[in-house]
Amino acid sequence: MNIQWYPGHMTKTRRQMEQDIRLVDAVCEIVDARIPLASRNPDIDSICGNKPRMMILNRTDMADPAATKKWAAYFRKQGMIVLETDAKNRKGTNQFAPKVRELLKEKLQRYQEKGQAGRTIRVMIVGIPNVGKSTLINQVAGRKSAKAENRPGVTRGKQWVTVERGLELLDTPGILWPKFDDPQVGLHLAVTGAVKDDVVDIEELAICLMELLGKHYPNALETRYKVTVPENATGLELLELCGKKRGMLISGGEVDLERMSRVLLEEFRSCKLGRFTLELPPDREEIVHEEG
């Protein structure tokens, strides 16, 4: 899976974040709960230094709940405070402020001891594009809409959004890029829709996804497409099988692979096939699925 996607301004944004990080007490990273590794940025640790860290597993509505629990435990073990959210449906987001206070409890206590109770703490939100940063910021800050833009040449004063008294967020989330050069990472990002379909080959993507599902979750395919998945079937064979069953034929009786590819990806992304987590913490099985 070769993703032809070259986001501009990476260096500029990174530099800006390195500046901004000095202004905050903690960093909150948002990842997609379905792909908690692929949706991370490889440079995040070096950018954050030793700032206290919070990890938000977002889109839990689309991920396998058992896998989300495993990921939460995994990040907690790394010393992070973890929050599970479905920002779109406002689930878990009301725990944001309490979790930040938990993360910074020693600092808050020191402030208290110095007679500075109520001193503002500041948090920066970071994550790859489309992971839900704006949705989450709007939720926790009670705003209607605000989309952080990453347009070249547009500079504006730094703004802070108040979540509650004494807790502010940097209003422009830090936009980072994932590790596109790793083919597995690219596949997971493309399958989940984190990158736009116009930069990937739809059929190639659907074949990879079919292979993954056929290998680990034939039942999900059998239930949805009413087919029997043959042992060791290739992704292409499965795509053809399901396309035929859905009657997606072109002249000559061949399966319209492009159409079936779009259907598969759409149904996977809208969880009609079930809720999947495509990655598990190291040393575990690769994919977990719950019937949708």
Footprint of ligand G4P on this chain (CB under 6 A)?
A: 58-59, 61-62, 85-88, 127, 129-135
Q: How far is CA 108 from CA 13, 51, 122, in A?
A: 30, 15, 12
Q: How far is the CB of 107 from ligand G4P (least distance, A)?
A: 27
Query: Closest residue to ligand G4P, Cβ-based?
Result: 132
DSSP strands (E only) in the chain: 26-32, 53-58, 81-84, 121-127, 160-164, 167-170, 174-175, 275-277, 288-290
Q: How far is the CB of 127 from ligand G4P (least distance, A)?
A: 6
For residues 269 and 192, the answer to whether their CB atoms sit within 8 Å is: yes
How many C-beta neighbours within 10 Å does residue 66 have? 12
Residue nearer to ligand G4P on the CB measure, 85 or 261: 85
CA 199 to CA 202: how far, in whole Å? 9
Q: How far is the CB of 33 from ligand G4P (least distance, A)?
A: 8
CA 121 to CA 175: how far, in whole Å? 21
Residue nearer to ligand G4P on the CB measure, 255 or 265: 265
Q: How far is the CB of 289 from ligand G4P (least distance, A)?
A: 17
For residues 262 and 202, the answer to whether their CB atoms sit within 8 Å is: yes
Residue nearer to ligand G4P on the CB measure, 40 or 59: 59
CA 243 to CA 225: how far, in whole Å? 9
CA 94 to CA 237: how far, in whole Å? 46
Q: How far is the CB of 189 from ligand G4P (least distance, A)?
A: 13
- Bridge-partner residues for 168, per DSSP? 122, 162
Q: At what angle do helices 235-245 and 257-269 cross, to 10 degrees?
A: 90
Residue nearer to ligand G4P on the CB measure, 21 or 271: 271
Q: How far is the CB of 91 from ligand G4P (least distance, A)?
A: 8
Residue nearer to ligand G4P on the CB measure, 134 or 261: 134
Residue nearer to ligand G4P on the CB measure, 108 or 123: 123
